[in-house]
Structure 1
Amino acid sequence: MATPDHLFALRNNFYLGAYQAAINNSDVQNLSEEDLIERDCLVYRSYIALGSYQLVINEIDSSQPTPLQAVKLLALYLSGPQNKETTISSLREWLSDAAIGNNPVLRLVAGTIFMHEQDYNEALKHTNTGGTMELHALNVQIFLKMHRSDYAEKQLKIMQQIDEDHTLTQLANAWLNLAVGGSKIHEASLIFDDFSEKFPSTGLILNGKAVCSMHMGQFEDAENFLLDALNKDAKDAETLANLIVCSLHLGKPSSRYLSQLKLSHPEHMLVKRISTAEENFDRAVQTVA
């Protein structure tokens, strides 16, 4: 007889971006030692997703097990550019340690950090062997960043063989459909619609629905989904970035969203691209002045 999965709801909240719900409902009874560690990792990762890096850094001390130490490394990395170099150095050291280097949470954190660094080959060194649904889902994301939807599809097939109905399998399927485009956009839209029927709408679900709507040319629908997402989290990077794009298509001003994105997420790809374009434009103006 299969043992009950006490962490199913907590995991699902985390995967779908309901981070505060994951934290609020984390007092789960009858957990094994292994489950307790996973529970704490999910709670601290939820705090990281909400931007509470310092709380995680303060609460996880050196006596904690490897998975929690790995989560602390992620918090340190994301807490500011001044910590990136030392964090990556520590990460490489831990990954080369035979005793802990193959820990799934450490490999997941390594993949996440190197993906942020846009060092996709290095990320795949640590994630490609899989082992957990999260590692497979991260592989799908990395391959899509590399514009290799063929490899992403192979990872998705592995996930479908393990559990076709798993939330991460469905999410990975939607990501791949969005990347492939065309008729696949409708399929992605159905997945996000299904999520919003089964679960409370989160920023992640609403952004998914909005991106599908934008691909289908339904920018007013997209704007409504995004404004709903903004009400849930006024500083969410993807919501702000998608609102900038959506507003431009609707012929509406986007400067306020851009200002918010620059303030809250100065390292965001859209901010960097706009800054580069502005610098190039200024240089071009000076050459003809």
Structure 2
Amino acid sequence: MAAAPDHLFNLRNNFYLGSYQAAINNSDLPNLSPDDAVERDCLVYRSYIALGSYQLVINEIDSAAATPLQAVKLLALYLSNPHDKESTISSLKEWLADPAIGNNAILRLIAGIVFMHEEDYNEALKHTNAGGTMELHALNVQIFIKMHRSDYAERQLRVMQQIDEDHTLTQLANAWLNLAVGGSKIQEAYLIFQDFSEKYPMTGLILNGKAVCCMHMGNFDEAETLLLEALNKDAKDPETLANLVVCSLHLGKSSSRYLSQLKLTHPEHILVKRASSAEDSFERAVQSVA
């Protein structure tokens, strides 16, 4: 028996590779089953979240929407109000504790994303570790990399390769792991991003991936070219700005404009926090000898 056609393949792929506007623009798909329609809506709303349109998502998803959509709305609420995360997190925990919906794959995925943002990796893994979808496996790879456990990340990657070696998320997870391991693996990561850039339209995610590989290999001029192309696509993308700060420093160029933009648009970014902490330490050192 032939497998049913996957109507959402292109939509998912656009989302995974960071073509968020394309995902939104090409989401009007006919003859979807109810489950596929919910998954389609989740991908569209997550694309809006990725573009920073949190309020649109909060306004459009009402309390009668399906559980996966409610979970996506929680992510928008969490990201839209960095000063009041507690109420969103307590709602999330309530839902996860509810036996009727707590095991929903999208709810577990959103929980993993939120707790990863909180840097509470053990809590994130409580909800993601059982896997069940390619996205959950890919998120596990990311969490283990953040925990500096590339051995566990590699195990998750092997599970993904057994399910579908050519899946976009399997390829992405492979590239992330290669970058984390470093050394000769950097070239392999570069080839994965290069392959994406030949198959699909260039996105900030692909450009940043290639640029980070170039920086690891010491090719800062090429990295800068790729990052400036990414900046043309999205002038507020935090990863592009952060990578440009690092790249500029290595090229002996001023990075202050990129750092200022990052501070304005993403004050919670780890690079901003590190820069502020370094400035504070410097100020204290100056005070102590003044």
TM band (smaller chain):
over 0.9
- Which letter does structure 1 place at the counterpart of 2:243? N
Map of 1:100 onto structure 2? 101
**TM-score normalized by structure 2?**
0.99
Distance 2:21 2:139 in 1: 22
Percent identity of equivalent pairs: 81
Map of 2:21 onto structure 1? 20
- Which letter does structure 2 place at the counterpart of 1:180? V
Deviations 1:164-204 (A, max 9, x none): 00000000000000000000000000000000000000000
| CA positional deviation for 1:30 | 1.3
| CA positional deviation for 1:280 | 0.7
Task: Please tell me whether residue 265 in structure 1 is matched to residue 274 in structure 2.
Answer: no
Map of 2:215 onto structure 1? 214
Map of 2:154 onto structure 1? 153
Structure 2 unmatched ranges of 5 or more: none
Map of 1:130 onto structure 2? 131
Alignment of structure 1 residues 13-52 onto 2, 5 Å: 13-52=14-53
Map of 1:174 onto structure 2? 175
Task: Please tell me whether residue 241 in structure 1 is matched to residue 242 in structure 2.
Answer: yes
- Which letter does structure 2 place at the counterpart of 1:176? L
Distance 1:82 1:65 in 2: 27
Task: Please tell me whether residue 61 in structure 1 is matched to residue 62 in structure 2.
Answer: yes
CA-atom RMSD in angstroms? 0.4
Distance 1:161 1:258 in 2: 41
> How many residues are treated as equivalent by the alignment?
289
**TM-score normalized by structure 1?**
1.00
Distance 2:195 2:277 in 1: 39
What secondary structure, in the 3-state scheme, does the structure 2 residue paired with 1:81 have?
A: coil
Map of 1:197 onto structure 2? 198
Distance 1:133 1:60 in 2: 25
- Which letter does structure 2 place at the counterpart of 1:80? N
Distance 1:92 1:148 in 2: 26
Distance 1:29 1:135 in 2: 27
Instruction: After the TM superposition, list the runs of 4 or more consecutive aligned residues in structure 1 that deviate by more than 4 angstroms.
Output: none
Distance 1:103 1:83 in 2: 25
- Which letter does structure 2 place at the counterpart of 1:157? R
- Which letter does structure 2 place at the counterpart of 1:134? E
| CA positional deviation for 1:288 | 0.7
Map of 1:165 onto structure 2? 166
Map of 1:186 onto structure 2? 187
| CA positional deviation for 1:82 | 3.0
What secondary structure, in the 3-state scheme, does the structure 2 residue paired with 1:212 have?
A: helix
- Which letter does structure 2 place at the counterpart of 1:248? L
Distance 1:34 1:83 in 2: 32
Distance 2:259 2:40 in 1: 36
Distance 1:206 1:146 in 2: 25
Distance 1:191 1:29 in 2: 33
Contact 1:76 1:83 survives alignment (8 Å): no
- Which letter does structure 1 place at the counterpart of 2:278? A
Distance 1:156 1:170 in 2: 9
Distance 2:133 2:176 in 1: 18
